[in-house]
Amino acid sequence: MFETALAHNGLIAILRGLGPDEAEAVGQALYAAGMRIIEVPFNSPEPLRSIETLRRTLPGDCLVGAGTVLRAEQVQNLKDAGGQLVVMPHCDETVIRVAVAAGLFCTPGVATPSEAFAALAAGASALKVFPAEQVGPGALKAWLTVLPTGTALLPVGGITPEGMAPYLAAGAVGFGLGSALYRPGMSPAEVGRRAQTFIQARRSTAG
């Protein structure tokens, strides 16, 4: 399912700061715009309630998960809330293995080739290249010459619609979208418009 959702347009909505009371409306706006992977970071207000709401109100082809997963015990909490995807800012092999054992998809954060290989060996579904500004398209391209064929690299951090092209040319398959897509207090309509802008830019670049 992760591969199918990612192939839709390669974009992951990161809803840092989302509150449970706005989760359904924001989630519906993102889905209508074309987003098929949504994560609520654990350092948001009551993230598990928001994840429960998103999973209950969004169609089954939309993958819902948590970001900023730092500890193995958080994995079971996420699964109990209906979450399907673990996204991490770091490469903790224990967390990756616990997520995989729980039947969840896992995208750990990596910033070096060593971390990338370790994450894949632990069972990562894809790799979150974080922070993208630190790694850059040139390094990402170099990584792909040595990583296993088909490795999905997803730059995260400072991504804008205008800034995607160099990473895509280097071999990235998608992106995690943060504050350029959503910030607390933003209306669902505005979030939906921003999502459409990203999706249009992604498709235009791919074409």
| DSSP-assigned states of every residue in 51-111 | HHHHHHHS-TTSEEEEES--STHHHHHHHHTT--EEE-SS--HHHHHHHHHTT-EEE-EES
**Catalytic residue from among 24, 93, 115, 128:** 128
- The whole-angstrom distance between residue 170's C-alpha and the CA centroid of its chain comes to 19
On the question of pLDDT at 151 being above 60, the answer is yes
Q: What are phi and psi of 111, to 5 degrees?
A: -135, 0
112 vs 121: CA distance, rounded Å: 14
Convert the pLDDT of each residue in 23-51 to its tens digit: 999 999 999 999 999 999 999 999 999 99
Is the pLDDT higher at 207 or at 102?
102
Is the pLDDT higher at 207 or at 168?
168
Residue given tokens 């910030």 in the structure block: 183
Residue range 145-158: average pLDDT? 97
What is the pLDDT confidence band of residue 206, given thresholds at 50, 70 and 90? low
Residue range 114-125: average pLDDT? 98
On the question of pLDDT at 205 being above 90, the answer is no
What is the pLDDT confidence band of residue 1, given thresholds at 50, 70 and 90? confident
**Catalytic residue from among 24, 39, 79, 162:** 39
On the question of pLDDT at 207 being above 60, the answer is no
146 vs 65: CA distance, rounded Å: 29
Domain residue limits, the chain:
1-206
- Nearest partner of 201 among 168, 158, 154, judged by Cα: 168
Percent above pLDDT 70 for the chain? 99
Lowest mean pLDDT among 5-9, 84-88, 202-206: 202-206
pLDDT at 189: 98
User: 46 an active-site residue?
Assistant: no
User: 115 an active-site residue?
Assistant: no
On the question of pLDDT at 62 being above 80, the answer is yes
On the question of pLDDT at 60 being above 60, the answer is yes
Would you give the DSSP letter of residue 29?
H
CATH 3.50.50.60 fits 1-206, yes or no: no
What does the H/E/C string look like for 161-207?
HHHCHHHHHHCCCCEEECCCCCCCCCCHHHHHHHHHHHHHHHHHHHC
What is the pTM for the complete model shown? 0.95
Residue range 180-204: average pLDDT? 96
Tell me what the pLDDT averaged over the chain comes to: 96
